[in-house]
Amino acid sequence: MEQTNGSANLNANLSRGQQAPRQNAQQAQQQAGQPVIAKVHKPENQTKAQMGGGGKVKIVFLGGVGEIGKNMTALECGNDIIVIDAGLGFPDAEMPGIDLVVQDITYLERNKDKVRGFVITHAHEDHIGGLPYVLKTVPATIYGSRMTLALVEHKLREHPGIKVKGVAVKGRSVVQIGCFIVEFIHVNHSVPGSFALSVTTPAGVIFHTGDFKIDYTPVGGEVIDLARIAEIGRKGVALLLCESTNVEREGFTISETSVGAKLDELFEKYADKRLFVATFSSNVHRVQQLLDLATKYKRKVAFSGRSMLAISDIALKIGEMKTAVGNVIDLANINNYADKEVLVVLTGSQGESGSALARMASGDFQKVNLGPSDAIILSASPIPGNEKAVNNIVNNLFKRGCEVVYESLAAVHASGHACREELKLIHTLIKPRFFMPVHGEYKHLKKHYELAKSLGMNERMMALPDLGDCFELSATALKKVGQVPSGSRLIDGTGSGDMDSAVLRDRISLAEDGICIVGFAVDKQTGKISGTPDIMTKGLIYFDEINDIYGELKKIVVNVVKDVDFKSCDQTEIRSEIRKAVQNFLNKTIKRRPIVVTMIE
Q: Does residue 97 sit within a domain?
A: yes
Q: Is the pLDDT of residue 32 over 50?
A: no
What does the buried/exposed string (b/e) look like for 537-547 if buried means 16 or more CB atoms within 10 Å of the residue's CB?
beebbeeeeee
- 411 lies in some domain: no
- CATH number for position 562: 3.10.20.580
Residue 522 has pLDDT above 60, yes or no: yes
Is 232 found in the same domain as 272? Answer: no
* pLDDT at site 572: 86
pLDDT above 70: percentage of residues in the chain = 87
Choose one of 405, 429, 447: the last residue of a domain.
405
So what's the pLDDT on residue 130? 94
CATH number for the domain harbouring residue 472: 3.60.15.10
Tens digits of residue pLDDT in 316-375: 999 999 999 899 999 999 999 999 999 999 999 888 888 889 999 999 898 899 999 999
Count of domains for the chain: 3
Instruction: Indicate if 6 and 25 belong to the same structural domain.
Output: yes
In this structure, the answer to whether residues 148 and 128 fall within a common structural domain is: yes
Cα dist from 484 to 52, 136, 204, 223, 465, whole Å? 22, 20, 23, 38, 13
80-138 pLDDT, tens digit each: 999 999 999 876 666 666 667 889 999 999 999 999 999 999 999 999 999 999 999 99
Minimum mean pLDDT range among 30-34, 162-166, 308-312, 526-530: 30-34
pLDDT digits (tens, 9 = 90+) for 188-230: 999 999 999 999 999 999 999 999 999 999 987 799 999 999 9
Close Cβ partners of 580 (under 8 Å, ≥ 6 residues apart): none
Q: Give the pLDDT mean for 521-548.
A: 84
User: How far is it, in rounded angstroms, from Cα 312 to Cα 309?
Assistant: 5
Strand partners, 257: none
pLDDT reported for residue 567:
76
Query: What does the pLDDT read at residue 545?
Result: 76
Examine residue 231 and state whether it is found in any structural domain, yes or no: yes
The answer to whether residues 199 and 271 belong to one domain is no
Q: For residue 312, give the CATH number of its domain.
A: 3.40.50.10710
- Start-to-end CA distance of the chain, whole Å, equals 63
Angle at CA of residue 213, ends 212 and 215, nearest 5°: 135
Q: Looking at the structure, do residues 22 and 75 belong to the same domain, yes or no?
A: yes
Residue 46 pLDDT grade (very low, low, confident, very high; cuts 50, 70, 90): very low
The answer on 114 and 219 residing in a single domain is yes
In a domain, 561, yes or no: yes
Mean pLDDT, residues 552-576: 85
Residues 59 and 207 in one domain: yes
Q: Which domain holds residue 541?
A: 500-600
Strand ranges (E), 169-227: 173-177, 180-186, 195-201, 204-208
Q: Is 145 found in the same domain as 191? A: yes
Rounded CA-CA distance 561/242 in Å is 64
| Residues facing residue 496 across a β-bridge | 491
What tens digit of pLDDT does each residue of 87-100 get? 998 766 666 666 67
Residues 224 and 280 in one domain: no
Do 587 and 456 share a structural domain? Answer: no
| Contact assessment for residue 242 and residue 437, using Cβ atoms and an 8 Å cutoff | yes
SS3 40: strand
